[in-house]
Amino acid sequence: MTAATMTPRRPAAERAGFGHLLYAEWTKFVTVRGWVIAMVVSALLTAGIGIWATSGYHGLPCGKVLPDGRMVGGACPAPPLGPGGEMVTDSFYLVRQPLPGNGTVTARVTALTGSATSGIAGGTSELQPWAKAGIIIKASLRQGSTYAAMMVTGGHGVRMQDDYTQDIGGLTGGVSAASPRWLRLVRSRDMLTGYDSVDGTHWTLVGTTRLSGLATGVQAGIFVASPDSVTDENVGATLASGTFDHVTVAGARPGSRWVGQDVGSGATGNPLSGGYRQSAGVFTLQGSGDIAPAVRNSAGSGRPADEGIIGAFAGLIAALVVGTMFITAEYRRGLIRTTLAATPRRGQVLAAKAIVTAAVAFAAGLAGSAAAVLLGERMLRGSGYYIFPVGGLTQVRVIVGTAALLAVAAVLALALGVIWRHGAGPVTATIALIVVPFFFTGPMTILQGPAADWLLRVTPAAAFAVQQVLPAYPQVANAYIPQYGYYPLPPWAGLAVLCAWAAAALGLAAFLLRRRDA
């Protein structure tokens, strides 16, 4: 290497320059009163709208108005909590015997059909895909107690489920008299093993689970449940009917009698009640409800703790406007020529502007979303809603993630401002890219299914996934849509999509800033 090809060392003053540059950009920001006010307004809008929205519930969430005008219900009963501390649904029709120790429950299911619905416009008695008929061993009759069950479902074959969130697939296909399903559940202390069979002689292992803290004496029996029919607009209770024969409980006390019981009936305000008939060893059970983790939909009294985060939309728009103006105002006033004369390294100018924009938007977002989430949760509790238990870390992720969303979105607006050099385009574009896709899949639900998922995967609106606190369960039919806080991408992946957009825009902005005259 010769001296001629070596890059000369930069003077010390220039290397120290980035700090000064940051300071210069910071000074520009804080001395424009309108921008500072706008960022304060952004935080206040996020917090204020979040608190208003969560306190705007009037009346009691579980009260229902009957067609004759009477109010029924009132305050919601507390939803049961499962063994893992999660909110669960635990209501079904059970025909049971006590099981004092180890034992085996066996039954043959010959039919599972839908029999009634309630509260659904244009009512249907279709069999729900997750309607269940099967055998269960449950610690007690208390809702939310630990259990394991083998079941035939309406549309998902034989399943072994335990403790509300676990779900293992067995034999596939539906059940009929011509093609019955044999189910078996073997208990050995706290170990439960599930088997299924088509003929009652050749058994296949489905799964094994350990139910911690299972008492010696438990309940064993057969059950039927039929979850709510859920569409984007409607939720309504349904009833299913299951037929069993060859029902045996090995290990039960001699002479034990079958007792039928609607577990959790009345607690949910479900107007459909179950029941059972028994003749010549054939049991016909009718049941409504579900044994599953609770999910957020329009019917339940459960709300995610971060419902107040909706206010971030208003704060976001303020941040986008300020992010845009941070550069377009320089073009409008001609200050950009002074800026670039003072710091000829244009990439650094852009970097300094991006850092200041991100920092300011992050601070405003953090203050606003922390207030919206923490106060919003208190408001919801005060209105009689129950909060889905979520970890403290999840709460932090929602607050910090929303602040990051505002910061990155403001940087995207800044980059588009450099590209456009006028204010109207970047603000419209960022709102169209971030708010409108959410709007199309949420409030107006114009798009559903794959088209909506696709929009929320590739547009910057994917970043709202960072606000998701409730897991979506494949074994629970629900409208998993943004309106209820469910997004197609995992939280950080969604934020990464927005970051990719911002990085691409910043790259183009740096290129154009260098190439173009100011």
Partner 1 sequence: MTSALSAEWTKIRTLPGTGWLLLGVVLVTVTVSAGASRALSCTSSSACHPDITQLSLTGTDVGQAVVAVLAVVAVTGEYATGMIRTTLAAVPRRTVMLTAKAIVITTLALAAGAVAAFGSLLAGRLILPAQGYTPAHGYPDLSLADPAVLRATAGTVLYLGLIALLSLGIATAVRDAAVAIGIVLGLLYLFPVLGLAVTSPDWHRHLQQIAPMTAGLEIQDSTGLSTLPISPWAGLGVLAAWAAAALLAGGLLLRFRDA
Query: How near is the Cβ of 307 to partner 1 at its closest, in Å?
Result: 6
63 makes contact with partner 1 (CB under 8 A):
no
Phi, psi for residue 183 in degrees, rounded to 5:
-125, 145
Query: How near is the Cβ of 446 to partner 1 at its closest, in Å?
Result: 6
Which two tokens mark 162?
Answer: 């335990």
26 makes contact with partner 1 (CB under 8 A):
no
Please tell me the count of residues contacting partner 1 according to CB under 8 A: 47
Binding residue for partner 1 (CB under 8 A) from 307, 330, 377, 453? 307
427 makes contact with partner 1 (CB under 8 A):
yes
**Gap between the Cα atoms of 33 and 50, Å rounded:** 25
Contact assessment for residue 472 and residue 480, using Cβ atoms and an 8 Å cutoff: yes
* Residue listed under structure tokens 């107007």: 271
248 makes contact with partner 1 (CB under 8 A):
no
Binding residue for partner 1 (CB under 8 A) from 308, 368, 401, 491? 308
Binding residue for partner 1 (CB under 8 A) from 374, 447, 472, 493? 447
Nearer to partner 1, 46 or 97 (CB): 46
Query: How near is the Cβ of 162 to partner 1 at its closest, in Å?
Result: 32
**Gap between the Cα atoms of 509 and 513, Å rounded:** 6
**Gap between the Cα atoms of 52 and 1, Å rounded:** 68
428 makes contact with partner 1 (CB under 8 A):
yes
- Amino acid (one-letter) located at 171: L
**Gap between the Cα atoms of 221 and 97, Å rounded:** 6
Phi, psi for residue 147 in degrees, rounded to 5:
-155, 165
321 makes contact with partner 1 (CB under 8 A):
yes
Nearer to partner 1, 210 or 333 (CB): 333
Binding residue for partner 1 (CB under 8 A) from 192, 314, 414, 462? 314
Nearer to partner 1, 449 or 471 (CB): 449
Options 89-97, 128-136, 152-160, 437-445: segment touching partner 1 (CB under 8 A): 437-445
Nearer to partner 1, 4 or 444 (CB): 444
Shortest CA distance to 161 belongs to which of 127, 190, 138, 128? 138
Report DSSP letters for 238-277, one per residue: EEEEEEEEEEEEETSPTT---EEEEETTTTT--S---EEE
Q: Which residues pair with 109 in a beta bridge?
A: 181, 244
Query: How near is the Cβ of 442 to partner 1 at its closest, in Å?
Result: 6
**Gap between the Cα atoms of 275 and 284, Å rounded:** 8
Contact assessment for residue 275 and residue 212, using Cβ atoms and an 8 Å cutoff: no
328 makes contact with partner 1 (CB under 8 A):
yes
Nearer to partner 1, 309 or 354 (CB): 309
Q: How many CB atoms lie under 10 A from the CB of residue 100?
A: 13
Footprint on residues 213-242 left by partner 1 (CB under 8 A)? 231
Nearer to partner 1, 91 or 324 (CB): 324
432 makes contact with partner 1 (CB under 8 A):
yes
Binding residue for partner 1 (CB under 8 A) from 26, 57, 203, 492? 57
388 makes contact with partner 1 (CB under 8 A):
no
First to last CA, the chain: 38
Binding residue for partner 1 (CB under 8 A) from 264, 365, 442, 494? 442
315 makes contact with partner 1 (CB under 8 A):
no
Query: How near is the Cβ of 19 to partner 1 at its closest, in Å?
Result: 29
Query: How near is the Cβ of 49 to partner 1 at its closest, in Å?
Result: 6
Fill in the DSSP letter of residue 207.
E
Contacts of 167-173 with C-beta under 8 Å, sequence gap 24+, read: 167/473, 167/474, 167/475, 168/194, 168/206, 168/207, 169/206, 170/194, 170/196, 170/204, 170/206, 171/196, 171/198, 171/204
Q: Which residues pair with 187 in a beta bridge?
A: 103, 192
435 makes contact with partner 1 (CB under 8 A):
yes
518 makes contact with partner 1 (CB under 8 A):
no
Nearer to partner 1, 18 or 313 (CB): 313
Query: How near is the Cβ of 431 to partner 1 at its closest, in Å?
Result: 5
Binding residue for partner 1 (CB under 8 A) from 422, 490, 504, 516? 422
SS3 assignment, position 384: coil
**Gap between the Cα atoms of 359 and 351, Å rounded:** 12
406 makes contact with partner 1 (CB under 8 A):
no
Question: What are the C-alpha distances in Å from 261 to residues 128, 269, 368?
Answer: 22, 16, 49
Footprint on residues 450-509 left by partner 1 (CB under 8 A)? 451, 483
337 makes contact with partner 1 (CB under 8 A):
no
Exposure letters 346-382 (e unless 16+ CB within 10 A, then b): bebbbbbbbbbbbebbbbbbbbbbbbbbbbbbebbee
Query: How near is the Cβ of 369 to partner 1 at its closest, in Å?
Result: 14
SS3 assignment, position 5: helix
198 makes contact with partner 1 (CB under 8 A):
no
54 makes contact with partner 1 (CB under 8 A):
yes
Contact assessment for residue 405 and residue 316, using Cβ atoms and an 8 Å cutoff: yes
Options 78-86, 108-116, 140-148, 445-453: segment touching partner 1 (CB under 8 A): 445-453
Nearer to partner 1, 177 or 444 (CB): 444
84 makes contact with partner 1 (CB under 8 A):
no
Contact assessment for residue 458 and residue 440, using Cβ atoms and an 8 Å cutoff: no
Q: Which residues bind partner 1 (CB under 8 A)?
A: 49-50, 53-54, 56-59, 61, 231, 298, 307-308, 310, 313-314, 317-318, 320-321, 324-325, 328, 332, 422-428, 431-432, 435-436, 438-440, 442-444, 446-449, 451, 483
